[in-house]
């Protein structure tokens, strides 16, 4: 199999050199070019046609947002953002890059320990998003929406790479003032969950925030799991944050932990959704929820940035149906309204 080809776009010679070393020290990745500004990044993407672009946001000429938009319009390519915009008041801009087509955002390291962490995470993300065209053996599932009316109190969503944009599209499909509480586990770099909540609230005009211990998840509210703490919901939909239980298969928060917590209440009043992302987090918990009567939905392959978590759900028989994020939102909205009944 050919290595995943990567173009690095950053105005710092030092950062480009370190990113090159991080990526090329990992099996299956080849850096095929570098660019020092946004215009050059677009031109080199068109010339080299890499599998993945690593993109800074603060660039000379056109910035990373504009470069991302131009690349997605002219030669759609998976774009992974590595940015220094990690302050809460600057982070909405980083999520704008996701809205324009980027699939993942990482903070630019400031100390050697952070570079070591990026060195563990970035190559795997690059390999996954750069291999999107590989054929999958799993069925893409049925796109036939369930009909009738269904009482649902909670929508639980799990997502990873490519998830922020998919989550936003799904929630927009629900329409205004959805009569259901929404809990989200999004695998994201620590420190970005607050920016994700701010951006999502701005995009949706909903009550979006980070989950707090003891708060009841009410209809029309969206709560996002905090970094390094599992999110659980009890039978009364009271949120519990658990920082003592170790990561489950490398994840804290874990989608499986959220999904399995919902077995203790009224699982038949739960809709569980798995969106784009690496690995299989959530598939086991979703299967348990399906057996208990919950509605279970996976994102379809065609709309995924990384067809990992949804694929695991479909292969295990955990998902009732597969669809794109906007279709999933509309399905749930129709069931809540009783469309087709």
Question: Residue 227: its pLDDT value, please?
Answer: 92
Residue 171 lies in a domain: yes
Task: Please report, for the domain that includes residue 294, its CATH number.
Answer: 3.40.50.180
Question: Residue 87: its pLDDT value, please?
Answer: 56
**Percent of residues, the chain, with pLDDT higher than 90:** 71
Q: Copy the structure tokens of residue 121.
A: 């995470």
Residue 101 lies in a domain: yes
**Percent of residues, the chain, with pLDDT higher than 70:** 91
Question: Residue 86: its pLDDT value, please?
Answer: 55
DSSP-derived secondary structure letter, 262: G
Label the pairing between strands 230-233 and 221-224. unpaired
Q: Which residues does the annotation mark as catalytic?
A: 160, 187, 281
Residue 108 lies in a domain: yes
On the question of pLDDT at 128 being above 80, the answer is yes
d(CA 6, CA 115): 18
pLDDT band at 277 (very low <50, low <70, confident <90, very high): very high
Which residue range(s) make up the domain with 279?
154-337
Give the mean model confidence (pLDDT) for residues 150-174: 94
d(CA 15, CA 21): 10
Residues 169 and 272 in one domain: yes
pLDDT band at 134 (very low <50, low <70, confident <90, very high): very low
Quick: pLDDT tens for 7-49. Answer: 999 999 999 999 999 999 999 999 999 999 999 999 999 999 9
pTM of the predicted model over 0.75: yes
Q: Copy the structure tokens of residue 122.
A: 């970035």
Task: Please report, for the domain that includes residue 91, its CATH number.
Answer: 3.40.50.2300
Give the mean model confidence (pLDDT) for residues 169-181: 94
Residue from 147, 165, 31, 45 nearest 95 by CA: 165
């Amino acid at each position: 199999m050919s290595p995943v080809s990567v173009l690095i776009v950053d105005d710092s010679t030092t950062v480009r050199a370190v990113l090159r070393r991080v990526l090329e020290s990992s099996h299956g990745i080849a850096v095929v070019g570098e660019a020092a500004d946004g215009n050059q990044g677009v031109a080199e993407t068109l010339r080299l046609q890499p599998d993945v672009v690593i993109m800074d946001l603060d660039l000379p000429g056109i910035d990373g947002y504009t470069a991302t938009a131009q690349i997605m319009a002219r030669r759609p390519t998976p774009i992974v953002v590595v940015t220094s915009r990690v302050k809460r008041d600057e982070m909405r801009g980083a999520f704008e890059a996701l809205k324009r087509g980027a699939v993942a955002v990482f903070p630019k390291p400031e100390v050697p320990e952070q570079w070591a962490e990026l060195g563990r995470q970035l190559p795997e993300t690059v390999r996954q998003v750069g291999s999107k065209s590989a054929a999958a053996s799993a069925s893409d599932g049925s796109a036939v929406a369930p009909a009738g009316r269904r009482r649902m109190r909670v929508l639980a969503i799990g997502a990873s790479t490519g998830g922020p944009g998919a989550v936003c599209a799904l929630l927009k499909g629900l329409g205004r003032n959805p009569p259901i509480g929404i809990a989200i586990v999004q695998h994201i770099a620590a420190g970005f969950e607050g920016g994700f909540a701010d951006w999502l609230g701005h995009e949706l005009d909903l009550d979006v925030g980070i989950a707090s211990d003891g708060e009841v998840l009410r209809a029309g509210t969206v709560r996002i799991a905090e970094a390094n703490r599992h999110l659980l919901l009890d039978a009364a939909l009271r949120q519990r944050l658990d920082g003592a239980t170790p990561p489950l298969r490398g994840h804290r928060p874990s989608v499986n932990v959220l999904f399995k917590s919902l077995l203790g209440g009224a699982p038949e009043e739960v809709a569980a959704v798995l969106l784009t992302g690496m690995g299989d987090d959530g598939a086991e918990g979703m299967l348990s929820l399906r057996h208990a009567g919950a509605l279970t939905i996976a994102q379809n392959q065609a709309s995924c940035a990384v067809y990992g978590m949804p694929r695991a759900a479909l292969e295990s028989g955990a998902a009732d149906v597969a669809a794109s994020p906007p279709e999933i939102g509309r399905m749930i909205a129709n069931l809540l309204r009783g469309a087709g009944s």
